[in-house]
Amino acid sequence: MTAIPETPDRRAALTHEIAARTGLGEDVIESFLRAFYGAARQDPLLGPAFVGVEDWERHIATLTRFWGSVALMTGGYHGQPMRAHTTLALTPTHFARWLDLFERTAREHLSPEGAEHMLERARRIARSLEMGLIPLALPAAKRPMASGVHP
Ligand code: HEM
């Protein structure tokens, strides 16, 4: 099978098609993100994780590029999301709350198609971040050092 070449024209056509189908665009995504992070900063569980963010305009700009790449195929983001979260000591509860808040904000601010489009991607990325960042909780008996049998 021949790979379809990824050209700027093809990217632009895809972005256009997604925007027409979902009502999403970079401006819509940016104002959604402002609402989402406004709420996340107020959230008792998530808020403390964001106190270290020194420049919120920069964070919103990075996240707008990230979601533009993920949801609109704009290709403008080149960062490393996994690395950005390694020192935050996130737990499965953080991820569940993040997704819950993301869903509520998306349903309030986006069209139904736009919300589904963003949510499908958010769930997938959250799962892979969670799996990469949090070691699997094994039952005590199966933890390597738990039985007193040392290698
Ligand atoms: C589970 C709760 C989460 C918390 C508390 C959290 C918090 C943070 C914080 C504190 C930063 C660093 C911001 C800065 O220093 O400027 C960050 C960066 C980022 N987060 Fe999250 N995050 C969470 C989940 C997620 C999820 C699920 C996604 C994607 C679906 C995501 C996407 C990103 C991206 C793209 C960046 C920027 C990385 C870069 O610098 O290139 N985060 N997050």
Question: Which residue type does 16 have?
Answer: H
77 lines ligand 1 (CB under 6 A): no
**Pocket mutation for ligand 1, best pick of 56, 85, 95, 127 (most atoms within 8 Å of C-beta):** 85
Rounding to the nearest 10 degrees, give the CA dihedral for residues 34, 122, 133, 131.
170
CA 77 to chain CA centroid, Å, is: 13
46 lines ligand 1 (CB under 6 A): yes
Is 75's pLDDT higher than 90? yes
Which H or E element spans position 4? none
pLDDT, tens digit (0-9, with 9 covering 90-100), for 99-144 = 999 999 999 999 999 999 999 999 999 999 999 999 865 666 665 5
Between 73 and 6, the more confident residue is: 73
Residue nearest to atom 28 of ligand 1 (CA): 126
Residue nearest to atom 13 of ligand 1 (CA): 53
CB atoms within 10 A of CB 105: 21
Which parts of 92-140 fold into alpha helices (H)? 92-109, 112-133
Would the pTM of this model clear 0.85, i.e. be above it? yes
In angstroms, the CA 101 to CA 49 distance is: 15
| First-residue to last-residue Cα distance in the chain | 49
Least confident piece of the model among 60-64, 128-132, 143-147:
143-147
Top CATH class of 14-133 equals mainly alpha
84 lines ligand 1 (CB under 6 A): yes
Tell me the domain boundaries of the chain: 14-133
